Amino acid sequence: MLSASRRLWQASPLTYVALVLAVAMSVFPIYWMFVVATRTNDTINNVPPSLLPGGELTTNAGRVLANDHAAFLYGLVNSVVVSVAVTVSVVFFSSLAGFAFAKLRFRGRGPLLMVIVGTMMVPVQLGIIPLYMLMVKLGWNGQLQAVIVPFLVTGFGVFMMRQYASQAVADELIEAARVDGCSTFRVFWNVVMPALRPAAAVLGLLTFMQTWNEFLWPFAVLDPDTPTVQLSLSLLATAYYTDYSQVFAATAMATLPLLAVFVLFGRQIIGGIMEGAVKA
């Protein structure tokens, strides 16, 4: 019986073929991005198309960096600043709030948690017009804090950390620390936070990738002379849309940091997405 049920769950050669095909289709556009980035515009338009990388990557990358219109390097630096600031803050404040919801008793805990889960469903992006007006009033339009401050803590983050904290931290541990005279913040910082590290890492990775890729709000509130890297990309793609080798070199450079993160931490990212799915 065991062998029969195990055979039921083994992948057949056909499964492998189908999966290899699916992966090929997933990877190809990214591969193509790098192919075009390494060629001259003339050879991109070859018929039949050339599917192998050429040797023009440094030339194309150099043209991107020298392009004042897109301020690509500046956009790259801005994106690093924005993504790191948002990530650090989201991880800290989400862990803190998640700890409170999982381990501290206070009036209104259940309903407030429901509110947080509910906010995850709200398309806040539709509020960008008053949000923009607010930024103008604060004098933040065109400045990086406009794309940082509104995102310093997210409902998703709080909920995720709450779910993890409630099963990863033993109540006895917290009780013991409290008996020793720890304040709730000391309990959080010295007892809970170390235990939350795996979930915090996943939340950090997901937040970093999402912030790096954000488009509509930076597009609305930032100026072309203070771009994020996605904005630089769109400026370049809009103004030079026939110059594929330059645009694709920029796209490749903007995607490379994320691909590096993904290759290094793919297992954790997949684990985070799948765990979140079961709980949701």
Q: Is 126 in the site for another protein (CB under 8 A)?
A: yes
Tokens of 148: 């940082």
> CB-hemisphere CA count at 13 Å for 121?
5
Site for another protein, residues 209 to 248, rule: CB under 8 A: 209, 212-213, 215-216, 220, 230, 233-234, 237-238, 241, 244, 247-248
Task: Name the residue with tokens 């991880």.
Answer: 91
Question: Cα 86 vs. chain centroid, distance in angstroms?
Answer: 10
Q: Is residue 72 involved in binding another protein (CB under 8 A)?
A: no
**Does 256 interact with another protein (rule: CB under 8 A)?**
no
Asked if residue 129 binds another protein (CB under 8 A), the reply is yes
3 binds another protein (CB under 8 A): no
Under the binding rule (CB under 8 A), the answer on residue 145 touching another protein is: no
* Angle, alpha carbons 54-56-62 (nearest 5°): 155
Q: Which of 54, 53, 6 is nearest to 30 (CA)?
A: 53
Quote the CA–CA distance of 90 and 103 in Å, as a whole number: 19
> Which of 99, 147, 165, 227 touches another protein (CB under 8 A)?
99
85 interacts with another protein by CB under 8 A: no
- The residue (of 68 and 263) whose beta carbon lies closer to another protein is 263
Tell whether residue 53 is a contact of another protein (CB under 8 A): no
Closest CA to 159 of 201, 115, 189: 115
Q: Of residues 64, 85, 191, 199, which one binds another protein by CB under 8 A?
A: 191
* Among the residue ranges 10-18, 56-64, 66-74, 80-88, the one whose residues contact another protein (CB under 8 A): 10-18
CA dihedral 145, 97, 201, 117 (to 10 degrees): -90
